[in-house]
Amino acid sequence: MTVERVYRAADGRYERLEYRRAGDSGLDLPALSLGLWQKFGRDYPFGTQREILLHAFDLGITHFDNANRYGPPHRAAEQVFGQVLRTDLAPYRDELILTTKAGNPIGPSPYLKGGSRKSLLVSLERSLRDLGTDYVDIFYHHRPDPSTPLDETVGALVSAVQQGKALYVGISNYPTERAHEVAALLRAAGVPLLVHQPRYSIFDRTPETSGLLKLAAEDGFGLVAYSPLAQGLLTDKYLDGAIPAGARAAASAFLSPDQIDDVYRERATALNELARERGQSLAQLALQWVLRQPQVTTALIGASSTAQLDHNLAALDFPALTDEELTRIDHHGIHGTGQRV
Ligand SMILES: NC(=O)c1ccc[n+]([C@@H]2O[C@H](COP(=O)([O-])OP(=O)(O)OC[C@H]3O[C@@H](n4cnc5c(N)ncnc54)[C@H](OP(=O)(O)O)[C@@H]3O)[C@@H](O)[C@H]2O)c1
């Protein structure tokens, strides 16, 4: 079947973004990467999804983060990406870093969750079919599974690389000690841990307090910081108390209106004031803040429009945060703000 292509990637797309080395590896990732967790299911127009993906690539965002679970329904986001890869991005496959993950439950079957060899390798096979590619660049275990021997989970990740179905491996949501064990097992197997994907933002300080930032430097892996805008709480969209129609707090099960409370608003407003003094937006401040850590290879953002991508990319144009500004951010950026307890 011939595919008629109309998309041609922008010239000069590698001149805009900074590319940062992932840990001790040889792989560079863009400072901002795009995730397909929200707005890439069947509940959003395909035309907009395609436009966001292609615009991201035109801006130099080469790294697209997926998972078997993303939708709705589960698997839909990989199928959406697969469709765009087929019709538009296929000529650029060598320039893309595609990831997927398995291990978060996607159904009642015991083989659609956890960290078993069966769950991980069967899921990867299905992801490759949905994405329409022979290999992913990074294959992740999505979250720890204490009921499965770590050797088995790590062995499945190693097999994925040995079989040529993944170039690198990563883990996500692993506590620090467990991440260290994974790094040691993978190193011994000759497949070093490339990246760990934790949640990290001004309102979620776990990677700082858990020692994960320190461990990343010691064990030589990079951090892919997800939800750096706290799902939109670290933007100005919720500051006036109203929830815009279609915004995540109105439209998604993962952010609820009751998270937009007075305490949140007071802290976010103070941060917004600091951003305003710097001549930038709260979103731009929040992205710069995450990227100030050398262990953070990339800030993994979501976007519901191309305008959000343009706006967020401009974060990279501002001067570094000063010590005094970082102290002010610490004062208002209190861990747990806006999070469900
Ligand atoms: N490993 C894991 O367990 C895990 C968990 C969660 C996420 N992730 C990964 O991380 C990626 C990003 O997560 P996330 O979407 O929560 O990241 P985020 O960047 O914190 O939030 C993105 C959302 O904020 C809003 N937004 C973005 N820029 C904006 C702007 N300039 N002005 C106003 N609103 C703006 C948009 O939502 P609306 O416009 O819809 O309001 C957008 O979808 C996911 O896609 C996924 O790949 C991984």
Mean pLDDT of the chain: 97
**What average pLDDT does this structure show over 24-37?**
98
Residue 333: pLDDT band by 50, 70, 90 thresholds? very high
With tokens 């937009």, the residue in question is 260
Please give the backbone phi and psi of residue 200, each rounded to the nearest 5 degrees, phi first: -155, 125
**Residue in 227, 234, 313 to alter for ligand 1 test, most ligand atoms within 8 A of Cβ:** 227
For atom 19 of ligand 1, the residue with the nearest CA is: 301
**What average pLDDT does this structure show over 21-47?**
98
**What average pLDDT does this structure show over 246-255?**
92
Q: Decide if 30 contacts 295 (C-beta within 8 A).
A: no
Q: Decide if 174 contacts 180 (C-beta within 8 A).
A: no
Which atom, in ligand 1's list, is nearest to the CA of 101?
Answer: 1
Measured in angstroms, how far is the CA atom of residue 70 from the centroid of ligand 1?
Answer: 13
**Residue in 55, 234, 285, 301 to alter for ligand 1 test, most ligand atoms within 8 A of Cβ:** 301
Please give the backbone phi and psi of residue 203, each rounded to the nearest 5 degrees, phi first: -100, 0
Predicted confidence (pLDDT) per residue in 289-323, tens digit: 999 999 999 999 999 999 999 999 999 999 999 99
Does the pLDDT at position 253 exceed 80?
yes
Measured in angstroms, how far is the CA atom of residue 36 from the centroid of ligand 1?
Answer: 9
Measured in angstroms, how far is the CA atom of residue 185 from the centroid of ligand 1?
Answer: 32
Predicted confidence (pLDDT) per residue in 15-28, tens digit: 999 999 999 999 99
pLDDT of amino acid 340 = 79
Residues with CB under 6 A from ligand 1: 35-39, 65, 142, 172-173, 197, 226-232, 235, 237, 247-248, 283, 300-304, 308, 311-312
Residue 2: pLDDT band by 50, 70, 90 thresholds? low
**What average pLDDT does this structure show over 212-237?**
98
Measured in angstroms, how far is the CA atom of residue 118 from the centroid of ligand 1?
Answer: 30
Provide the total of helices (H) and of strands (E) in the chain, helices listed first: 12, 10
Residue 341: pLDDT band by 50, 70, 90 thresholds? low
Which atom, in ligand 1's list, is nearest to the CA of 312?
Answer: 31
For atom 22 of ligand 1, the residue with the nearest CA is: 302
Picking from 70, 43, 65, 67, the residue whose alpha carbon sits closest to that of residue 53 is 65
pLDDT of amino acid 5 = 74
Residue 1: pLDDT band by 50, 70, 90 thresholds? low
Alpha helices in the chain (DSSP H): 46-58, 76-84, 117-131, 150-162, 176-188, 206-209, 212-219, 248-251, 262-277, 282-291, 306-313, 323-332
pLDDT of amino acid 149 = 98
Number of neighbouring beta carbons within 10 Å of residue 209: 10
**Residue in 98, 304, 305, 340 to alter for ligand 1 test, most ligand atoms within 8 A of Cβ:** 304
For atom 27 of ligand 1, the residue with the nearest CA is: 303
- Whole-angstrom distance, CA of residue 109 vs CA of residue 81: 25
**What average pLDDT does this structure show over 256-280?**
96
pLDDT of amino acid 241 = 83
The full set of domain ranges for the chain reads: 19-229+293-325
pLDDT of amino acid 60 = 98
Percent of the chain residues topping a pLDDT of 90 = 95
Measured in angstroms, how far is the CA atom of residue 2 from the centroid of ligand 1?
Answer: 35
Percent of the chain residues topping a pLDDT of 70 = 99
Which one of 144-148, 241-245, 249-253 scores highest in mean pLDDT? 144-148
At the top level of CATH, the class of 19-229+293-325 is alpha beta
